[in-house]
A and B are shown apart, each in its own frame.
Chain A
């Protein structure tokens, strides 16, 4: 069984501030972890993924996430928020690299203030 918990359904930061979106997972086997982003009026798109090759994963638009097994976490960060980062972010876990059966978290809506 697997599950994902995203702490904070809404996060608000100022432009230029650090972005930190939290994701904790539960999995009976070593997981594959993903972050997806959904911009307004668009479909979800893959931001980055962890597949055991490296614990620090870099994605598009300056985002990165670090897999911490001891904390069962895969938090998403970006050093400096931009207005265009305003979107909903979903963490997801899969039991295989193919992501055939993704389990999604509840999502976190990121708001960026000027």
Chain B
């Protein structure tokens, strides 16, 4: 697509429910990132996919968080048994294989509210 697409744009859920957030990267982009942005705070790295390599999961805050990516396409971030502290905007970004500018292309984010 023309840009990084994320869905849903807004999600309100009850504590303890599972949620799935989806990211469609720019076509052909091999790298895909998930970040979390809590209210009034900076972006917090969650996970990074690069091609067929094993993902860098070092930023995932707990085992309730997981993410998958099929090949170089869509990625899904899953949060199980959501907690109120999971409320945040979840941002996805992608980057082309030969891009060496450090320019990540971001989606508009998925705003998650856990009641």
Contacts and interface: CB of A to CB of B under 8 A. Distances in A.
Contacts of B45: 101-103
Summarize A's interface: helix, strand, loop or mixed.
loop
A106 B102 CA distance: 19
Contact of A49 (B4, B102, B106, B108): B102
A107 B103 contact: no
B1 interface: no
B109 A49 contact: no
Interface in B51-102: 56, 91, 93, 95, 99-102
A33 to B, nearest CB: 9
Contact of B99 (A98, A102, A107): A98
A43 B106 contact: yes
Interface residues on A, range: 20 to 34
A45 B4 CA distance: 12
A90 B102 contact: no
In order of increasing CB-CB distance, the 7 nearest A-B pairs are A99-B102, A43-B106, A104-B43, A106-B42, A44-B106, A104-B42, A46-B103
